[in-house]
């Protein structure tokens, strides 16, 4: 009777516990944290991207270098000089590859109107 109870218990535990293979594949679906290597095709966590040097890097903030293939954060764009710059407001210069805010356009003179 005791061996039968042990067998039933073992069967229940194995049915309720994910296999080692399942848990290993679950790890593959996780994202790669900032500062970790991503040059092997790993996916960086949200809010970061794989830089040219092969490491997950947080999206750029205003004034931060962005010539490393990492996008700038929301409301910012990478200027021709390679720095994250806020979208242009009315009257701001826009001839630097940084777009104007929604509703404005870059005039032929290079200013947001």
Coil, strand or helix at 64:
coil
Is this structure's pTM higher than 0.85? no
pLDDT in tens, 44-85: 999 999 999 999 999 999 999 998 889 999 999 999 999 999
Q: How many CB atoms lie within 10 A of CB 78?
A: 22
Checking if the pLDDT of 1 tops 70, the result is no
Q: Where are the alpha helices (DSSP H) in 1-113?
A: 2-16, 20-28
The tokens describing 2, both together, are 């005791």
The tokens describing 59, both together, are 């999206």
Q: How many CB atoms lie within 10 A of CB 85?
A: 25
Instruction: Please tell me the distance from the alpha carbon of residue 15 to that of residue 107, in angstroms, as a whole number.
Output: 67
Going by pLDDT thresholds of 50, 70 and 90, the confidence category of residue 87 is very high
């Amino acid at each position: 009777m005791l061996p039968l109870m042990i067998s039933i218990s073992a069967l229940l535990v194995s049915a309720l516990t994910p296999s080692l293979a399942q848990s290993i594949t679950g790890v593959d679906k996780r994202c790669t944290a900032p500062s970790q290597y991503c040059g092997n095709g790993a996916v960086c966590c949200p809010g970061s991207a794989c830089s040219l040097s092969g490491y997950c890097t947080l999206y750029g903030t205003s004034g931060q270098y962005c010539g490393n293939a990492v996008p700038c954060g929301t409301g910012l764009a990478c200027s021709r000089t390679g720095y994250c710059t806020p979208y242009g407001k009315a009257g701001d210069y826009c001839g630097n590859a940084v777009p104007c805010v929604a509703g404005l356009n870059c005039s032929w003179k290079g200013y947001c109107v």
